[in-house]
Amino acid sequence: MDSGVDYDLPYESGIVNMSVGRGTKNFLYRPAMSREEMELCLQRGAEVVSKVHDAGCNVVSFGEMGIGNTSPSSIWMHLFTGISLNLCVGAGSGLDNIGINHKYNVLKRSVENYKGDGTTEDIISWFGGFEMVMAIGGMLRAAELNMIILVDGFIMTTCMLAASKMHPEVVEYAIFGHQGDEVGHKLLLDSMNQHAILNLGLRLGEGSGSVCCYPIIVSAVNMINEMDNFANASITKYF
């Protein structure tokens, strides 16, 4: 789904056009998006999940491909959990120590320049990406439809965090696919009292980490439904 890439994408190749705009604004100086754009992202994310549900699915996986979106994720994590910003900022797609320090300083200035009202909706619109807010809308709709939500790595976990600030019960529908190698991801999961199924040091995006855990979920369901217990297998328990 194209939520707002600043490029003329080849929609005829199968990419679905759900674009809200040609990229977000620079949140160092101004809100990344307007409230109207935020609401449209939430709405379109919900529409996508409704279509998935109507097609017969009861499990939906969320992933993203964005530019620099570990940065808004770090700010969301900091503002929604109170964890120090320096513990939320990592290497992203491969920054060295100089790059990480620069990234931290820019994000620190961005938070200092924030002039919003501190509400969840204001924070996600001021610092979020279109793809991230669209994921929030999809997660909330999936919970409404009693679907299982597979959450990918650091960025999608911060989206689930933001969604939970709007409706806390959404987390009850979530399964966290993997704990990524991004420095803040373990702290973020701990702050949400959540554990990921996989912890393989993965540095993945595009939803690939959550898809990796899907066979394990299927196996768990099969064991519950199909595996013999001691009584059915005529095995005497020992003590």
* Three-class SS state of 61: strand
Q: What is the CB-side half-sphere exposure of residue 237 using CA atoms within 13 A?
A: 5
Among the options 64, 121, 182, 206, which is catalytic? 206
pTM > 0.85: yes or no: yes
Known catalytic membership, residue 226: no
State the pLDDT at residue 28: 97
State the pLDDT at residue 206: 75
State the pLDDT at residue 239: 64
Enumerate residue ranges in the chain where pLDDT < 70.
Answer: 205, 237-239
Q: In sequence order, what are the beta bridge partners of 148? A: 59
Q: At 203, which amino acid appears?
A: R
Domain ranges of the chain: 27-221
17-41 residue pLDDT tens: 999 999 999 999 999 999 999 999 9
Compute CA distances 34 → 2, 7, 74, 83, 121, whole Å: 18, 20, 20, 26, 11
Q: At 9, which amino acid appears?
A: L
Residues whose CB is less than 8 angstroms from the CB of residue 64 and which lie 6 or more positions away in sequence, other chains included: 129, 131, 132, 135, 152, 155, 156, 205, 206, 207
Residues whose CB is less than 8 angstroms from the CB of residue 232 and which lie 6 or more positions away in sequence, other chains included: none
What class has domain 27-221?
A: alpha beta
Number of H helices, E strands in the chain: 9, 3
201-218 residue pLDDT tens: 777 767 888 888 999 999
